[in-house]
């Protein structure tokens, strides 16, 4: 009976579901969903057995056939349909069958799941054989359509698997392998599209991904056997070839075109110097495995040879918003070309994306110089997110594999700013942009910092904090709780809304995220310059707080406070003379008397300076 099924049990945590607010419903569902991964992990051995069985049958020309009804059937069809574009597998290799046929994907077909004969007949229609694997999917473990399908499949020698979300199920007695992530009662009683559906999708993901890896569809963690059928996949194909060859975008595109868009063929052709036809033959003989076709590892593949240009250096400034590369002469430091790319902070965008951004910016710099990418005399990389040995190892490994230079220096923001903005590379460096931080370096090389706690814990004197304080003051002014300020009407105009209450959806549900809010700091600075009392107070307070942070950095490390070299960077310092002077005035108030003060517009110039010094 249905009432005895685990998938039909009532969940006491959601007994008052209809009385909850939207926020409470989301929180409840999130708590329940958080248990799913651990439950799936209990089935690791069974899933691994399934992967081995599927990979074995696929390598012998067999198929994986999913059978299910309702949500379970749709999940099987979905997983099957995603394999050809992801792995360039034949569409007939992984098949999804759903009770009621194709129309059941979009609308329930009444009674279709109640016929075991229909399950067996659907398998007969696609000429099932003993070489195939049939995976029956049924959250309840009792769906007649699925029971009939796996029973017939096993009778003719196919390997049978059941993916269920209950114990001691009816279908378990009909198969050779049971995968049973028992997720417990659903938030909405009996709605197995929820936790049971999520657990099932995770299992199917593991089965097909694992089998495809085992049959040579990947190289390392790259989808080298993908089929580029849209712009995203075309771009991914190009990126994979660049990652494993070191080629630039245009050359990788030409190689892929020559190889018929086949990523694996292009990789083998590049590294073996075989023709596309010979490379295909090598891959076929190796069962499609690049590693076997070439006898190399990913690290071997990625290391390439480049022409030497020891008369050039590279300086890179990379962070969470973008990466800038300067290509300069080693003799004079003259910049001959620039390159820009996306973020290269490994903590925020991941290792692969960060390293790709570095390569892209270097490629662009050489293209803009009308030069082939070469191995240069020295490179300095000023990178955010590289503050532990693990990060340094990642960057040094990339530099070695990509043959960028034999002289590699990895620096932080402070080192770059001080190299670019002070006579001898030591002193005080302060950044006031979206966030804020103060760095110090002594003549002997000791370093320190204050601030940099981020927008929740700190960022005093930053564009974000100034704009946020001003927005709050404008809200108080509108409510007639705080002092009047022109900021009310100016924020309404700047944000393109009708009235102050419209700030609420704009901020909480619209495009006005942290970076966008920080971009409104000039509105506050302009109002302050025109004499608005509230705006002027905010600017003065934040300049004071940033100066207090800088003073602490200097005092903590024991730097001499008179004639101190100071380098300033970030949009607030570079774009607002008023804020810069207010900060320096506050700095003097705290007893620090700047000597050489330099606004640094291009921190990457500091990387060029350091790269050149490394050759001395």
pLDDT, tens digit, for every residue of 277-328? 888 888 888 777 787 777 654 444 445 567 888 899 999 998 777 899 999 9
Query: CA 246: distance to chain centroid?
Result: 21
Domains 310-411 and 454-599 share a fold: yes
Distance CA 307, CA 374 (A): 5
Distance CA 267, CA 212 (A): 19
**Cross-strand pairs, 134:** 65, 160
pTM over 0.75: no
How does strand 593-599 pair with strand 436-441? unpaired
* Tokens matching residue 329: 């002469």
CA atoms within 13 A on the CB side of 61: 2
User: What's domain 454-599's architecture?
Assistant: 2-Layer Sandwich (3.30)
* Tokens matching residue 457: 């814990």
Q: Determine whether 82 is an active site residue.
A: yes
CATH of domain 4-214: 3.40.50.10490
- Report the pLDDT averaged over residues 494-507: 85
Among 16-25, 108-117, 522-531, 542-551, where is mean pLDDT lowest?
Answer: 108-117
Among 56-65, 316-325, 341-350, 358-367, where is mean pLDDT lowest?
Answer: 341-350
pLDDT value of position 239: 86
Distance CA 243, CA 238 (A): 9
- Map out the domains of the chain as residue ranges: 4-214, 231-302, 310-411, 454-599
- Report the pLDDT averaged over residues 462-484: 92
pLDDT, tens digit, for every residue of 155-167? 999 999 999 998 8
CA neighbor of 2 nearest in space, from 114, 186, 110, 140? 140
Contact between residue 212 and residue 89 where contact means Cβ atoms under 8 Å apart: yes
Q: Determine whether 602 is an active site residue.
A: no
pLDDT value of position 480: 92
pLDDT value of position 111: 67
64 versus 213: which is more confidently predicted? 64
CA atoms within 13 A on the CB side of 117: 1
Distance CA 278, CA 294 (A): 12
pLDDT, tens digit, for every residue of 224-270? 776 666 787 788 888 888 888 778 888 888 998 898 888 888 888 88
Contacts of 221 (CB under 8 A, 6+ apart): none
From 3, 19, 46, 82, the catalytic residue:
82
The class that CATH gives domain 310-411 is alpha beta
Distance CA 561, CA 587 (A): 10
The class that CATH gives domain 231-302 is mainly alpha
Q: Please count the residues of the chain.
A: 616
In the predicted structure, residue 1 carries a pLDDT above the cut 50: no
Among 6-15, 65-74, 289-298, 347-356, where is mean pLDDT lowest?
Answer: 289-298
From 113, 174, 186, 542, the catalytic residue:
113
Helices (H), 323-412: 346-349, 351-368, 389-401
């Amino acid at each position: 009976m249905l009432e005895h099924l685990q998938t039909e049990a009532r969940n006491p945590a959601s007994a008052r579901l209809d009385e909850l607010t939207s926020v409470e419903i989301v929180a409840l569902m999130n708590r329940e969903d958080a248990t799913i991964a651990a439950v799936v992990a209990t089935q690791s051995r069974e899933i691994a057995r399934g992967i081995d069985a599927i990979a074995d049958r696929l390598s012998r020309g067999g198929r994986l056939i999913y059978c299910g009804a309702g949500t379970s059937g749709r999940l099987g069809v979905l997983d099957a349909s995603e394999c050809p574009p992801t792995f360039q597998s034949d569409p007939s290799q992984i098949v999804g069958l759903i009770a009621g046929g194709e129309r059941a994907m979009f609308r329930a077909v009444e009674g279709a799941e109640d016929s075991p004969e229909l399950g067996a007949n659907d398998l007969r229609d696609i000429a099932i054989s003993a070489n195939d694997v049939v995976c029956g999917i049924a959250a309840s473990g009792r769906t007649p359509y699925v029971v009939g399908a796996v029973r017939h499949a096993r009778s003719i020698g196919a390997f049978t698997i059941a993916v269920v979300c209950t114990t001691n199920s009816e279908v378990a007695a009909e198969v050779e392998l049971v995968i049973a992530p028992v997720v417990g009662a659903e938030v909405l009683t009996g709605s197995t599209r929820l936790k049971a559906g999520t657990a099932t999708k995770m299992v199917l993901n593991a089965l097909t991904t694992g089998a495809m890896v085992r049959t040579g569809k990947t190289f390392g963690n790259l989808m080298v056997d993908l089929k580029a059928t849209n712009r995203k996949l075309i771009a991914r194909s190009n990126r994979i070839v660049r990652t494993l060859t070191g080629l630039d975008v245009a050359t990788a595109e030409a190689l892929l075109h020559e190889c018929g868009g086949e990523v694996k063929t292009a990789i083998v052709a590049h590294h073996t110097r075989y023709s596309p036809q010979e490379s295909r033959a090598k891959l076929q003989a190796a069962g499609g495995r690049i590693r076997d076709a070439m006898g190399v590892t990913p690290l071997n593949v990625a290391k390439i040879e480049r022409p030497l240009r020891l008369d050039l250096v590279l300086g890179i400034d990379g962070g969470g918003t973008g990466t800038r590369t300067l290509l300069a002469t080693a003799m004079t430091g003259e910049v001959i070309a620039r390159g820009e790319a996306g973020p290269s902070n490994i903590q925020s965008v991941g290792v692969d994306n960060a390293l790709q951004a570095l390569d892209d910016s270097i490629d662009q710099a050489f293209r803009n110089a009308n030069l082939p990418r070469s191995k240069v005399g020295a490179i300095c990389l000023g990178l955010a997110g590289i503050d532990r040995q693990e990060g340094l190892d990642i960057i040094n490994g990339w530099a070695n594999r990509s043959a960028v230079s034999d002289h590699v220096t990895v620096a932080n923001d402070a080192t770059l700013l001080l190299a670019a903005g002070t006579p001898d590379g030591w002193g005080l460096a302060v950044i006031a942009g979206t966030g804020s931080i103060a760095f110090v370096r002594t003549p002997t090389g000791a370093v320190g910092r204050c601030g940099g706690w981020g927008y929740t814990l700190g960022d005093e004197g930053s564009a974000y904090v100034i704009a946020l304080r001003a927005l709050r003051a404008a809200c108080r002014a509108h409510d007639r709780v705080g002092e009047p300020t022109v900021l009310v009407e100016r924020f309404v105009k700047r944000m393109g809304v009708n009235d102050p209450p419209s700030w609420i959806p704009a901020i909480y549900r619209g495009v006005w995220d942290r970076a966008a809010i920080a971009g409104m700091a000039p509105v506050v600075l302009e109002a302050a310059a025109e004499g608005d009392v509230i705006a002027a107070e905010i600017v003065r307070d934040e300049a004071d707080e940033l100066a207090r942070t800088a003073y602490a950095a200097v005092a903590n490390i024991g730097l001499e406070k008179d004639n101190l070299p100071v380098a300033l960077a970030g949009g607030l310092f570079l774009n607002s003379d008023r804020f810069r002077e207010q900060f320096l005035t506050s700095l003097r108030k705290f007893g620090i008397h700047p000597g050489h003060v330099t606004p640094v517009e291009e921190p990457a110039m500091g990387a060029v300076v350091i790269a050149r010094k490394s050759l001395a």
